[in-house]
Structure 1
């Protein structure tokens, strides 16, 4: 009997070894694999449907703000903020469907927040500066501004950058923190602007006659405003000329057109009246 029991145990062991281990593992874990497969498919479905819903909600928010006549730069900023926030929520929902505990995710995010904050302090500063720009609104869409050494028309205020289009049609993206840390010159903020001409005439010129000629040029230009009244006066006694300040006021949108036309008219009228516009020159006296 003992011999027969040993033979049976040996035969059972051999049959066990003959069965592939992988086959046993797949058989024993079929339910687990099915569960993981369902979770992954569910997560993919959440990502797909969620991305569609994010686009739909983002478009709805943008349309709502536009119907309220909110400035387009504010609309773009809030729209981007809503879009990224919703995408993060969709991603977290997908992780939750795959069985990842949200408490663990939050704990990881909390522990990594300091490192991420230090690594992305520039980006966070740009984001905070973008929020300040939207709140205080030193400029709006389509305003012509100058920030540092860059000037252009505002196209968008994004989460991290302010996008300008220069006069020669170049796109410039300025980090928001640089926008807020430098002087901002907004040329479109007010409805009227003053043109600053500095006209140099010869020391031999009749200053009263010169001022009358300049006043006549300004009066003939219909786009120059009568109020505030233009200013004409002697500005400086320079090395080679007497410089006269000419300060007319115009509508902001007509600034450059009036500038070019008026400057040309001044030159032509001074030539017609025989008033010389000198150029720098040096007199040399040679002693024998």
Structure 2
């Protein structure tokens, strides 16, 4: 008596042919999605004017949807009714939402709005919730940023979407502020002129907007000045470092004192 590959196997209830078709649909479906459909979708969307971060988000969402669809189709090979499966999954999803998946849905919705409104793009440097870094990717559930010391931070999308955010690199130019204190009794006109001349000579400082120097505070030990120079965003840290070093050296050469914090103590003899 021959073996019937169409007959249900003991204890399993599925035939060999059903199991084969299930495996074929799973393997072929996943391979097609991962190596054909998703790359083609990504390539075609990159030809549009959509931002990269939005493209990546849409590709990931579509890929997950397709994987789920492949899995559902593979279950039909085992004899399950697709409509019953969908209804069952809907019921399970409803129960899961009631037992704590609200955060998951919120993160997904937040990721969608982040990708759509673009408060930041891939490669930009932002600060949110006290965390600062370069955006390296936005996913369905979370956003990843890379800190200056090469640490990857993963932040749930709902936290980013619901918090104030600072984008340091969205604009083409930024203002560099360098604070310095000079001693009381200093000729302020001379100190300001020296700082202005120094900034104007720096090759990375822009002429428009023009640099300026502001007297910001009469502090306990010094009169505080703030050098304000505009530069291209990519040159921000270079200019800040240069101006900080140069103002210290230049004031030293010009005999402009940068005082240490000091306190006068008066002893009263009784």
Distance 1:167 1:31, change over 3 A: closer
Structure 1 gap segments, 5+ residues each: 1-22
Aligned equivalent of 1:114:
94
SS in 2 for 1:196: strand
Moved more, 58-67 or 149-158: 58-67
Separation in structure 1 between the aligned mates of residue 8 and residue 188 of structure 2, nearest angstrom: 97
Aligned equivalent of 1:63:
43
Aligned equivalent of 1:48:
27
Aligned equivalent of 1:131:
112
Aligned equivalent of 2:265:
284
TM-score, normalization: structure 1?
Answer: 0.87
Q: Please say which structure displays the higher CA radius of gyration.
A: 1
Deviation at 1:31, TM superposition (A): 5.3
| 1:98 pairs with one of 38, 54, 78 | 78
Aligned equivalent of 1:17:
none
Aligned equivalent of 1:81:
61
CA RMSD of aligned residues (A): 1.8
Deviation at 1:72, TM superposition (A): 2.5
Aligned equivalent of 1:4:
none
Structure 2 gap segments, 5+ residues each: none
Q: Is contact 1:73–1:156 with CA below 8 Å preserved after alignment?
A: yes
Aligned equivalent of 1:11:
none
Deviating beyond 2 angstroms after TM superposition, the runs of 4 or more aligned structure 1 residues are 29-35, 66-72
Q: Is contact 1:153–1:165 with CA below 8 Å preserved after alignment?
A: yes
Q: Aligned runs of 1:209-220 on 2, under 5 Å?
A: 209-220=190-201
Aligned equivalent of 1:3:
none
1:176-205 Cα shifts (integer Å, max 9, x gaps): 000011111001111010111221100021
TM-score, normalization: structure 2?
Answer: 0.93
1:58-84 Cα shifts (integer Å, max 9, x gaps): 111111122335432222211211111
Aligned equivalent of 2:243:
262
SS in 2 for 1:250: strand
1:251 equivalent to 2:232? Answer yes
Aligned equivalent of 1:37:
16
Aligned positions, number: 263
1:205 equivalent to 2:186? Answer yes
